[in-house]
Amino acid sequence: MTDTKESILKAALGLFAVKGYEAVSVSQIAGTLGMTKGALYKHYKNKRDIFDSIFTYVCELDAERSRKSGVPEKEFSEMPDSFSDVSPKSLKEYMLSQFHYWSMDETACNFQEMLTLEQYKITEAGTLYEKVLTDGPLTYIEDIFREMIIHDKLIKKEPRQLAVEFYAPFYLLLNMADRTGRKKDKEEMEAVYEKQMDDFFRKYLLPEEEARMQEMINIRNEEKADYAIVEQITREAFYNMYVPGCVEHYLVHIMREHEDFIPELDFVLELNGTVIGNIMYTKAWLLDEEGNKKEILTFGPVCIKPGYQRRGYGRKLIEHSFERAVKLGYDTVVIFGSPVNYVGCGFKSCKKYNVGTENGKYPSAMMVRELIPGALDGHKWIYQDSPVMAISEEEAQKYDGTLEKMEKKYQPSQDEFYIMSHSFIEE
């Protein structure tokens, strides 16, 4: 979004919050910015287009906070598997970020005031108010709690009732914050809500999950002292998953010395001082229709030590690496894997971005995440891996033979991998 478009949105929202949507004209919005209606129409078709863009902008920011906290960015019906991974700690982090945003951010405050003002006048505004501030978040939390109960994180109780008890203080305190202009008061209300969440989880979490709430997580760059443990974790995580044995630990072993390896994006995750996970990146490329080459990223392997999987640690590693990648100037990540593991981190089918292989196919296992929205617009792309990914099976087996023996065996996941890796999306 350009600075001008964003300025128009914020000026319009400021007027909507005070006068209401219906009472504000395009001329008034343009006048606030010292521009003509004609100049404004170069950026937005009409007032409704401005309103829709405001809502899209707010939703995009919400999705970003969701990903950063490690909670699903969409409803249960759209990504059910992601709900089973949510930890109480991630939910708490997300709700605190939500409270801070909706109470402190000028755009969010104006959006809330506009919906509050218009909810009884305009049916659509009332529907949006429910989606954003009442029934929407309540149902979202209910779905999370239902999955937590199924996965033995919360005591068995009606999920809707738990959601009401958890969310009601958020809604009450947010409305109180909306009525005060003092930052100190809002900070005190945020602290009250954090304490309420702590009390809630002490009351309803099962003992093992309550202990996890106190976990100390640290994500840092890998050091030489980590090499052996990272390779061991990778081996344990992938052994017999895709084929009898695995080669991923050998890839880790050779990747660090390759010219396409990016050490700034090589991270480990420590839990209470012990390394339990790792993510590594290499350069990759996209070729457009004219043969122009665009440098992008791919990661792999990314792994979490068995026994700690499905708890949100992998998502934290991925999101942390995304933030660093953007700072390094990268805008796109392409990976191969099982979609169920990655759609919760914002990855989508390669077909949606016109990213294919040299033979013109769109593998079902190939996914794309735009770190900067619109980075791939307007082109058809061909993906190219780093040569380091072309592993010698013979060398991998030799290396594996030097390590402590592990039993190679068949697992059903190997058939799942075969099907996925040989499937393609049709034009």
- Mean per-residue pLDDT over the chain, rounded: 92
CB atoms inside a 10 Å sphere around CB 312 = 23
Output phi, psi for 124, to 5 deg: -65, -35
Mean pLDDT of 242-264: 96
Is the pLDDT reported for residue 165 higher than 70?
yes
The predicted structure's pLDDT at residue 291: 93
The predicted structure's pLDDT at residue 389: 94
Report whether 30 contacts 40 (CB < 8 A): yes
pLDDT digits (tens, 9 = 90+) for 180-205: 878 889 999 999 999 999 999 999 99
The CATH number of domain 3-210 is 1.20.1440.230: no
The predicted structure's pLDDT at residue 382: 97
Q: Is residue 272 classed as helix, strand or coil in its secondary structure?
A: coil
Percent over 90 (pLDDT), the chain: 70
Q: To which residue do tokens 């978040």 refer?
A: 137
Report whether 325 contacts 319 (CB < 8 A): no
Mean pLDDT of 363-392: 95
Mean pLDDT of 78-99: 91
Is the pLDDT reported for residue 37 higher than 70?
yes
Tell me the CATH number for domain 217-421: 3.40.630.30
CA–CA distance, 299 with 335 (Å, rounded to integer): 6
Report whether 386 contacts 260 (CB < 8 A): yes
H-helix or E-strand containing 297?
Answer: strand 293-304
Is the pLDDT reported for residue 213 higher than 80?
no
pLDDT digits (tens, 9 = 90+) for 307-337: 888 888 898 899 999 999 999 999 999 999 9
Strand residue runs (E) in 311-420: 332-336, 348-349, 355-356, 366-370, 381-384
pLDDT digits (tens, 9 = 90+) for 117-159: 888 888 888 898 999 999 999 999 999 999 999 999 999 999 9
Q: Is residue 238 classed as helix, strand or coil in its secondary structure?
A: helix
Percent over 70 (pLDDT), the chain: 99
Q: Where in the chain are all domains bearing CATH 1.10.357.10? A: 3-210
Mean pLDDT of 362-391: 95
Helical axes 47-69 vs 26-33, angle rounded to 10°: 70
- Kindly report each contact of residues 128-131 with a partner whose C-beta sits within 8 Å and lies 24 or more positions away, as own/partner: 128/55
Residue 243's pLDDT band (cuts 50, 70, 90) = very high
The predicted structure's pLDDT at residue 64: 87
The predicted structure's pLDDT at residue 69: 87
CB atoms inside a 10 Å sphere around CB 293 = 11
The most confident of the ranges 12-16, 65-69, 267-271 is 267-271
pLDDT digits (tens, 9 = 90+) for 222-233: 999 999 999 999
Q: Where in the chain are all domains bearing CATH 3.40.630.30? A: 217-421
The predicted structure's pLDDT at residue 248: 95
CA–CA distance, 225 with 248 (Å, rounded to integer): 19
Residue 1's pLDDT band (cuts 50, 70, 90) = low
- What the block records as the tokens of 207 is 């003992």
Q: Please name the residue ranges forming H helices in 74-154.
A: 80-83, 88-104, 106-118, 123-133, 135-150
